Amino acid sequence: KAIKSDIKGVLLVDGDNRSLSDHEIGADGLTIIGWNRYEIENYLLHPNALLRFVQACVSTRENPERAAQDFMHAELPPAVLSNPLEDHAFLNSIRASKDFLPQLFRASGIEISKNEYYEIAAQMNPAEIPQEVVDKLDTIASTLGI
């Protein structure tokens, strides 16, 4: 602001920050938007994309896809498994980056760190990307004039 007074910005907060008021984190020229789901990693929880990711990884475990599928069927609610793009309370409350994805990869025999989770998104087909992600990116682009 000191250098460019008309600068614009967008703050995209995780769903775990629902209790913060815009006043607490706001500033002039700053558009504040938030994810409905607990954290951005929750948008990676599409069973088909996760299975493709597991298949693409080198694994020391025999049949890592079966292990991943078994884990997802045990840990994900049936409604999430059948329609992962819908709004589910489970996806809005779970900490996927700590409480789901590490366990899935461990069960599949895959070693991956959180900073590599973007590689899961690279396995997603456009039809597997939740509309909210597209909407938030459109909001960022329009706000910043991109």
Question: What is the pLDDT at residue 57?
Answer: 87
Q: What is the pTM of this model?
A: 0.83
Q: Residue 144: which H helix or E strand, with range?
A: helix 131-144
How sure is the predictor about 29, in pLDDT bands with cuts at 50, 70 and 90?
A: confident
pLDDT at 5 over 90: no
Please classify residue 14 by burial: count the beta carbons closer than 10 Å to its beta carbon, then call 0-12 exposed, 13-18 middle and 19+ buried.
middle
Question: What is the pLDDT at residue 35?
Answer: 93
- Which has more confidence, 5 or 87? 87
The 10s digit of each residue's pLDDT in 46-80 is: 999 999 999 888 666 677 889 999 999 999 999 99
Mean pLDDT lowest among 16-20, 26-30, 94-98, 142-146: 16-20
CA atoms within 13 A on the CB side of 52: 14
For the residues of 60-123, what is the DSSP string, one character each? SSSSHHHHHHHHHHHHS-HHHHH-TTS--HHHHH--HHHHTHHHHHHHHT----GGGTHHHHHT
